[in-house]
Amino acid sequence: MLEAIKWSQPDDSFQGSLTGRDFLQLSDFTTDEILYLLDVAKELKALQKHGKPHHYLSGKILGMIFEKSSTRTRVSFEVGMMQLGGQAIFLSSKDIQLGRGETISDTAKVLSRYVDCLMIRTFSHNGIEEFAHHATVPVINGLTDLQHPCQVMADLLTILEHKGKLAGLKLCYLGDGNNNMAHSLMEGAAKVGMHISIASPSGYMPDGKITEKAIKIGAQTGSTIMITNDPKEGILDADVVVTDVWTSMGQEEETEARIKALQSFQVNKELCKHAKSDFIFLHCLPAHRGEEVTAEIIDGPHSVVFDEAENRLHAQKAILKELLIK
């Protein structure tokens, strides 16, 4: 290894292999596997920052299917594959036969013959699970309406960088709890021993099955899960404060009702007085300043949203490397 570069090397005690696995939700992975991926992400980030080539995936091709538009997901995966020495192909659902009625199973089987890995950003989580069932190459969840695991890996990496640890910290998510970010944050926090509170109004509570799963995971890792309708209770003594847009793609007709229901869950200076004085603020972006968060917070000294956005690249490179290298 290059002695001039100081990074946290992946834990030598990890003896497992992630090769050939799908990356659909964090609950599919053990605590050790998630922490190992974060270590790999730190190593890859250090290599990039020092301008050192890391072409682990030379000759590999990633197919990227988009049913939902994206900035960060597309660019970070495409750039990530290039930096790893591979290539990425953008596949809009409007341009492939999947968007014209070809079955998920046929599309998965055909594309598996062409590429080494598939990343899908779509609406239906059941759909991506069906796709993965029929594909013979690893499938990565770039986002579904139910889960956003790649984003939460970037979030965990960002928290680790700024706080120096994960276990024992308190994370508070404010806003629509029946949301892919809230769900993946619950699973991710529980896996790494973080305490998490989800503060949402009635009618916007997280999925019951995912909540139950996170509670069971937390019982083994020392993580606690709080679900509350009181934003002050949720944010109390939080080390990390997280929110997301109130209206996601496909929910535009609900915009007015959502703004009315969620306005008391806005992340603002007054509410953040109840968090720890050194809290950090995360948002997966894009953000609507003046809705889910004020400009004073997202553009202020507690915000690490652009470190978080950059870390999509490094976290996903770690996932790609470990799924594709034998």
Known binder of ligand: residue 239?
A: no
Active site residue 83: no
Known binder of ligand: residue 83?
A: no
Known binder of ligand: residue 284?
A: yes
Known binder of ligand: residue 200?
A: no
Known binder of ligand: residue 50?
A: no
Known binder of ligand: residue 205?
A: no
The pairing of beta strand 225-228 with beta strand 195-199: parallel
Known binder of ligand: residue 37?
A: no
CB 97 within 8 A of CB 43: no
- Among 25, 83, 147, 151, which one carries the catalytic annotation? 151
Known binder of ligand: residue 24?
A: no
- Among 284, 302, 314, 316, which one carries the catalytic annotation? 284
Known binder of ligand: residue 134?
A: no
Known binder of ligand: residue 249?
A: yes
- Among 21, 121, 258, 302, which one carries the catalytic annotation? 121
Active site residue 121: yes
Known binder of ligand: residue 150?
A: yes
- Among 125, 148, 283, 302, which one carries the catalytic annotation? 148
Active site residue 258: no
- Among 244, 258, 283, 302, which one carries the catalytic annotation? 244
Residue 68 burial by CB count (10 A; 0-12/13-18/19+): exposed, middle or buried? middle
- Among 21, 302, 312, 314, which one carries the catalytic annotation? 312
Known binder of ligand: residue 125?
A: no
Known binder of ligand: residue 282?
A: no
Active site residue 266: no
Known binder of ligand: residue 13?
A: no
Binding residues for L-ornithine, as ranges, are: 180, 244, 248-249
Binding-site positions: 70-73, 97, 121, 148-151, 180, 244, 248-249, 284-285, 312
Binding residues for carbamoyl phosphate: 70-73, 97, 121, 148-151, 284-285, 312
Just list the catalytic residues.
Answer: 121, 148, 151, 244, 284, 312
